[in-house]
Every structure is written in structure tokens, then in C-alpha cells.
Structure 1
Amino acid sequence: MMFSFTSFSRCQRLVNNPILTLLRNFHKEPIPVTWEKPEIGWTKLNFDGSCKGRAGKGSIGGIFRNHKAEFVLGYAESIGKTTSTIAELAALRRGLDLVLENGWNDVWLEGDAKTLVDIIVEKRQVRCAEVQRHVSDIISIIPEFDNCIVTHIYREGNRAADKLAQLGHQSQKPQIWRQIPPHQVLQIMHEDAEGKIVFRRR
């Protein structure tokens, strides 16, 4: 049987029908997301970048926790006009600076920008020169640690870092918290430590 262009067009409209797409997505099972503690002796960094508005106002944030999910250090900072990609990379780069300053050697780096995590893990080249500069800088630092893993987590498991990145938008100057976290992340930290499952809709 011949498949005419008219039939093809009708099929395309059916495939691209927004109502059918919504129904398909509605019936997909949600993904359970849980923040995981690092191993004993390891320090885990969750980082995030944020970019808001037409002006592209950027900020960064990150949180370090130990194997008991206890707060070790947090940071937040406004970084001016930028893109979301650069903000994510800047958040990780600032975190790495703090790792070096504190002499931690077994570190777990985790963010919710999957494409960037993949680029760093696979040491891929990218076309944008500014992005490549940040990526190359990060890749050059990682071998300085005894052990380092870089992983992706969905945003639902990166809520503490996201909250700190949001605080960065409100900061007039770079902020660092040691031992005592800002009250805005206390509830999230408690839920993370308890292993709370947050469901992500596909």
C-alpha cells in the first residue's frame, strides 16, 4: 500500500498533537529522586547556577556535606550578567576553589545540569570558547584530588544547592557559611538526611 504525503501529514499532526503528548506524559511513571550521602571520609558538594530575567542576572550556590549529611560549608554569590550554562560552571568552579582551600582530597561533585556533567566526565570539547575555557579549567583541577567523582542528579535532589543559588541573587557580596548553614536550607537538609524521596514528573 502506498503511503501518500497527505496521509503522512495527518500522521504527523497526530504525533505532534499536544493533547496526546500531555496524555502520554501524564501516564508515565514519576521518577523517585533521593539525595545520597557520601562515603566516610568523603566530602560531597552539590552545586547550582541560576540565571533570571531578560538581563540574565546570574548567581551561584553550593553546599558541602559529610558522610552523616552534616553541613560543612555553603556559598552563594551574585555573578552579574551571564547565561545559565556559565552560571552552572561558575558554581562548580567556585566549589572547587573551596575544596582546594580546605584541603579535601576525596570529593563527590554533583549538579543537576546533565549535559555539563557529561561534558566534564567525558572531557568533551564544546564550540563556545567561553564555555570551553571554564570546562578546561575544571577538568585541569580535578586530577589534583586523590579521589573525585562527578555525577548528575535531577533538580529534585539538588534542592539545597538550588536554594543557595537563589540566595545568591539577594547577596550584595559573596557569602560563605561554615559549620552553621543559613536557615533557608535547614528543612531541605533535614529531609535529605532522612532520605526523603521527591518524585519527578517526566
Structure 2
Amino acid sequence: MCKKVLNSKVIPRWLPPPLGFLKLNVDGAVAAGGSKCGIGGLLRNDIRVILFQFSEPCGFGPPALIELLAVRFRMLKFLSSDWCRQFRLIVETDCKLVVDWMSLYVDALLSFLNLVSELSDMVIKRGFVMRLTPRRCNMEADHLAKAGIG
């Protein structure tokens, strides 16, 4: 996801999806105190063209819940789009907990279990790919999520 260069420094670099896939980068942001939250992200194709982006307020809650809601919001939009019939989806987030819950079925909090189960079913049934990406490679989605806070 990120490319190593001389002197072992890491340069942030978003990698495009392979042919036949679209890549959805999502993020959730929570303001200090947790009273305001935002979600954001963007969908791109294999030649780096942004097909859509979003930045919206998202009520309030703990960071992991906001991240799950960001994933759900755009996965449902993707499923209702024409792109769903033509492409598979790669979903990238910088929240390890969410990726673990959805792909490894690691102990999701009981209060999130229904949401995690719903998203995991979408990933499995539709052949989506769920990936953890370093925050420095997900900065555009991070900025959009923070803008959604208002």
C-alpha cells in the first residue's frame, strides 16, 4: 500500500485497484468529546479517476462505530449503483479493529455485533475485499471525514 524508498523512508502512496475492481477508501472522524462525528471517503477506478466522494455528518458515537457506519453507508450505495454489476469492490480503512471484526470475526463488541454481521455478510456474498491501509495512505478519506464533522 505504501512504497519504500531510499534510506527506508516510507512515502505515502495510494495504489489503484486491479482491473475489474473499484477501490473505496473510507474513514470516520470524531470531534473532541465525541459529540460530533463525520464520515468520508472516495471511490476510484484502476486509472485513479475519482468516481464519487462523500463527506457527511454522522451523529455521535465511539470511533469504531463511526468507522463501521462509514463502511456501511458507502457499501450500500455501491450495491445500489450500476458499478455493482460491472466491478468487485475493495474497501480500505485505517481502522484495524473494523477490519479484524469484519474479516476475522474477532470479538466484536456486543452492541456492534448486528452491524458487523451485516457488513461481513455483504463482503462474503458479494466477493468484496476488506483491507487495512495505513493512515498516511488514506489521507484523502480522512480529510473528507473531518470535513463531515462541520
Which bracket does the TM-score occupy, shorter chain normalised?
0.7 to 0.9
Does residue 44 in structure 1 map to residue 26 in structure 2?
no
How many angstroms does 1:77 deviate by? 1.4
1:81 aligns with 2:60: yes
1:57–1:80 Cα contact (<8 Å) kept: yes
Two-structure CA RMSD over aligned residues (Å): 1.6
1:157 to 126, 133, 137: 137
Q: Is the 8 A contact 2:94 2:138 kept in 1?
A: yes
Deviations 1:101-149 (A, max 9, x none): 11424110100011221221112232x222222211101212332x321
Return closer, same or farther for 1:93/1:49 CA change in 2, 3 Å cut-off. same
> Counterpart of 2:144 in structure 1: which amino acid?
L
Q: What is the rounded CA distance, in whole Å, between the counterparts of 1:67 and 1:84 in structure 2?
A: 30
CA distance in 2: counterparts of 1:119 and 1:34, whole angstroms: 26
Q: Give the number of equivalent residue pairs.
A: 140
Contact 1:120 1:139 in 2 (8 A): yes
CA distance in 2, matches of 1:66, 1:91: 19
* TM-score normalized by the length of structure 2: 0.85
d(CA) in 1 for partners of 2:116 and 2:28?
15
| SS of corresponding position for 1:137 | helix
> Percent of pairs identical after alignment?
25
Counterpart of 1:113?
Answer: 95
Matched, 1:68 2:52: no
Q: How does 1:5-154 map to 2 (within 5 A)?
A: 30-103=9-82, 104=84, 105-126=87-108, 128-145=109-126, 147-154=127-134
Q: What is the letter of the counterpart of residue 137 of structure 2? A: G
Query: Post-superposition, which runs of at least 4 consecutive aligned residues in structure 1 deviate over 3 A?
Result: 29-33
Paired residue secondary structure (2:33): coil
Give the alignment's TM-score, normalised by structure 1: 0.64
- Which one has the largest radius of gyration? 1
How far apart are the structure 2 equivalents of 1:152 and 1:33?
14
**Offset at residue 32 of structure 1 (A):** 4.0
Kindly indicate whether the alpha-carbon contact (under 8 Å) linking 1:63 and 1:73 is maintained by their aligned counterparts in 2: yes
